[in-house]
Amino acid sequence: MAQPKRRWSKERTHTKRSTWKLEEKNLSTCPNCGEAILSHKACPSCGYYNKKQVVEIKEKKENNENK
């Protein structure tokens, strides 16, 4: 197996590794409810995608009614 002729400096190693960072997610707004959603995904709050309801969302019951 080939070996490098010279050793890489610590600075060069750290600069090479520094580019591995998390990127921000590209969020868009839902045209139906206005929430921030991932592109090309159904909205988790209203269930709409491409101006059509594709996922039926069950409404959450409030716990204040039972108390």
Question: Is residue 43 a contact partner of residue 35, using CB atoms and an 8 Å limit?
Answer: yes
Half-sphere exposure (Cβ direction) of 16: Cα atoms closer than 13 Å:
6
Domain ranges of the chain: 26-56
With a cut of 60, say whether residue 67 has pLDDT above it: no
* Predicted TM-score (pTM) of this structure: 0.52
pLDDT digits (tens, 9 = 90+) for 2-49: 888 899 899 988 887 777 777 888 899 999 999 999 999 999 999 999
Tell me which amino acid residue 40 is.
H
Q: Which residues pair with 52 in a beta bridge?
A: 49
Q: Indicate if the pLDDT at residue 1 is higher than 90.
A: no
